[in-house]
C-alpha cells in the first residue's frame, strides 16, 4: 500500500515576516507573488507575506506591499502575532540581524536567513537554540546564492564521507579574474568595470580580500565534516596582488587563476583557506566565467559532485530563500548542520604552511649578473626544487622571472622568498600562488 503524501501539520497559510527590503528581500516578495499558485501546491499550503521591516516605507521597490504591516524595528517581527516564520536578509554578523535571529528563535518561530557572516560567526549558538525549541533554522541562500549546495551536501550526500570541498565562492572576484583573462585588463580596470556594473561595492574589500568567501567556506566545512564552524581558522588571501602578467604567464603554463576556497581533512585536522590559486585550464573550475559560483565536493561513494550557477543577485538568492520557506511550510527540517550541535566536532586546525604542492612564483628582479644564482641558492638552501624558470624583459633595469617549483612544503618556499626579499635582488614583493592538483 502506498503511504499517504506528507501533509504539513497545518494547512492554513504560512505567514512570513521579512526583515530587509533591498535587492534580495524585494526579490523574495516578487517570487512569492509571481509563483504563488505553484509554491502553494508544492508547499501544501499558501505562503503569505504579512509583515516587513525596512527603514524607508515610501521607496518604490516595484512590489505590492499595500496589505502588509510595516515595522521600523526589525526585531518586532519576532513578536508580531501575525507572523509565523521570519526571513532575514539584512546582513551583517552582529547587530540587528543577530538580535532578530535570537528573538525569533526565542519566540518559537522558524528562522530563514541569507546571512553568511552571521551563520559563520554565530551558527552554532543559533542552531542550538533552534534544536532546543524544535524549530527550523535554514540558510541555503548563505552560500553560493541560487546553487542548492547546502541541501545537496546536507541531504543528498549525507551518506558519504566528504574528502574535501572547494570551489569559487565569490562572483565579484571571479568576474575580475575572468575579465583580466579574456580581455587582458589590468586588475584596477577589471575592478572598476565590476563596480560600474554593480558586481562590486564602492568599498570592495569584503569581496576582493577574500572575507566573503571565508564565511561561506566555514559553513560548507561544518556541513561536510560534521564540525563546528571555525571562520577564524580560515587562512585568507585576496586577489589584489594578481597582475595582468600573472594571468598571461599562468595561461602560458596551461592554467587559470581563480580565487579558491578549500577545506579538507589532513591527519585529523581541518585545513581551510581562501586564496588565489592556479588550476588546470581543463579543470571544470577553469571554465567558470564571470560572476558564476561553483562548488566541488568529493565523497567516498558518490565521487566528485560539481555544482555551478549564479552565486548572487535578487533572482537566484531569492530562489534559495523561498526554497527554505517551502521546507518550513512543509514542516521539513532537521539539525541545521546535519546533526545536533552537541555531536559536532571541534576540529583542530591544520597548518596551511605545511601543505605540500607545486607553486607558481613571480619575481621582479634587478637585471644584473648573479641574480639567477641568488635565486637558485635561496631555493636550494630551503630545500625547494625548481621545475621550470622563465625570464622575460631585461629592460629598464629589471626583469620578470617566473618559477614553477616541484611539490614542496609551502613554508619552505615562503622561507626562500623571505631570504630573497632581505637582499637586493628583488625590486618588488614576490608573489607565490599554489598550483592545485585537483
> Which residue's C-alpha cell is 496589505?
67
Angle at 54 between CA 98 and CA 90, to 5 degrees: 35
Pairing of strands 431-435, 111-113: unpaired
The half-sphere exposure of 254 on its side-chain side, counting CA atoms within 13 A, is 6
Beta strands in 232-314 (DSSP E): 235-236, 255-266, 269-280, 292-299, 303-310
Cβ proximity of 112 and 138 under 8 Å: yes
8 φ/ψ angles, rounded to the nearest 5 degrees: -55, 155
Known catalytic residue at 151: no
Cβ proximity of 299 and 305 under 8 Å: yes
What is the enclosing helix (H) or strand (E) of 402? strand 398-405
Selecting among 116, 151, 216, 358, the annotated active-site residue is 216
Best CA proximity match to 158, nearest among 223, 229, 230, 222: 223
The half-sphere exposure of 133 on its side-chain side, counting CA atoms within 13 A, is 20
What does DSSP assign to residue 152? I
Best CA proximity match to 52, nearest among 26, 14, 23: 26
Alpha helices in 197-281 (DSSP H): 205-208, 211-224, 244-252
Angle at 69 between CA 68 and CA 74, to 5 degrees: 120
**155 C-beta neighbours (distance < 10 Å), count:** 12
SS3 173: helix
CA distance 351 to 272: 9
SS3 101: helix
> Which residue's C-alpha cell is 512569492?
32
Query: Residue 394, class by beta-carbon neighbours within 10 Å (0-12 exposed, 13-18 middle, 19+ buried)?
Result: exposed
Best CA proximity match to 93, nearest among 232, 242, 252: 232
Catalytic positions: 216
Amino acid at each position: 500500500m502506498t503511504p499517504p503524501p506528507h501533509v504539513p501539520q497545518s494547512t492554513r497559510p504560512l505567514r512570513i515576516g521579512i526583515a530587509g527590503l533591498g535587492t534580495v528581500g524585494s526579490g523574495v516578495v516578487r517570487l512569492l507573488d509571481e509563483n504563488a499558485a505553484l509554491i502553494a501546491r508544492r508547499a501544501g499550503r499558501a505562503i503569505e507575506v504579512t509583515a516587513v521591516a525596512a527603514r524607508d516605507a515610501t521607496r518604490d521597490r516595484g512590489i505590492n506591499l499595500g496589505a502588509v504591516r510595516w515595522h521600523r524595528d526589525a526585531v518586532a517581527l519576532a513578536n508580531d502575532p501575525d507572523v509565523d516564520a521570519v526571513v532575514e536578509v539584512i546582513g551583517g554578523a552582529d547587530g540587528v540581524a543577530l538580535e532578530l535571529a535570537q528573538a525569533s528563535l526565542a519566540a518559537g518561530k522558524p528562522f530563514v536567513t541569507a546571512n553568511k557572516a552571521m551563520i559563520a560567526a554565530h551558527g552554532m549558538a543559533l542552531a542550538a537554540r533552534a534544536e532546543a525549541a524544535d524549530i527550523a533554522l535554514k540558510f541555503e541562500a548563505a552560500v553560493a546564492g541560487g546553487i542548492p549546495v547546502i541541501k545537496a551536501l546536507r541531504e543528498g550526500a549525507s551518506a558519504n564521507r566528504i574528502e574535501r570541498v572547494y570551489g569559487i565562492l565569490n562572483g565579484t572576484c571571479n568576474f575580475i579574474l575572468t575579465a583580466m583573462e579574456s580581455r587582458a585588463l589590468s586588475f584596477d580596470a577589471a575592478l572598476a568595470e565590476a563596480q560600474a556594473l554593480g558586481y562590486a561595492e564602492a568599498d570592495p574589500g569584503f569581496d576582493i580580500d577574500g572575507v566573503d568567501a571565508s564565511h561561506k567556506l566555514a559553513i560548507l566545512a561544518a556541513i561536510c565534516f560534521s564540525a563546528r564552524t571555525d571562520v577564524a581558522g580560515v587562512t585568507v588571501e585576496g586577489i589584489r596582488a594578481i597582475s595582468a602578467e600573472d594571468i598571461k604567464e599562468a595561461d602560458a603554463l596551461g592554467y587559470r587563476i581563480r580565487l579558491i576556497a578549500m577545506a579538507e581533512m589532513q591527519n585529523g585536522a581541518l585545513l581551510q583557506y581562501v586564496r588565489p590559486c592556479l588550476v588546470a585550464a581543463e579543470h571544470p573550475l577553469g571554465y567558470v566565467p564571470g560572476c558564476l559560483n561553483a562548488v566541488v565536493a568529493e565523497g567516498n561513494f558518490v565521487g566528485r559532485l560539481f555544482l555551478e550557477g549564479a552565486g548572487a543577485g535578487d533572482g537566484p538568492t531569492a530562489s534559495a530563500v523561498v526554497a527554505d520557506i517551502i521546507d518550513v511550510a512543509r514542516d521539513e527540517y532537521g539539525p541545521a548542520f546535519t546533526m545536533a550541535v552537541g555531536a559536532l566536532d571541534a576540529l583542530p586546525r591544520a597548518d596551511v604552511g605545511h601543505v605540500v604542492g607545486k607553486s607558481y612564483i613571480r619575481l621582479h628582479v634587478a637585471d644584473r649578473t648573479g641574480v639567477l644564482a641568488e635565486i637558485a641558492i635561496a631555493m636550494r638552501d630551503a630545500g625547494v626544487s625548481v621545475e621550470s624558470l622563465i625570464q622575460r624583459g631585461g629592460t629598464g633595469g629589471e626583469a620578470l622571472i617566473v618559477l614553477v617549483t616541484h611539490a614542496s612544503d609551502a613554508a619552505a618556499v615562503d622561507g626562500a622568498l623571505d631570504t630573497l626579499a632581505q637582499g637586493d635582488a628583488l625590486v618588488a614583493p614576490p608573489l607565490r600562488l599554489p598550483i592545485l592538483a585537483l
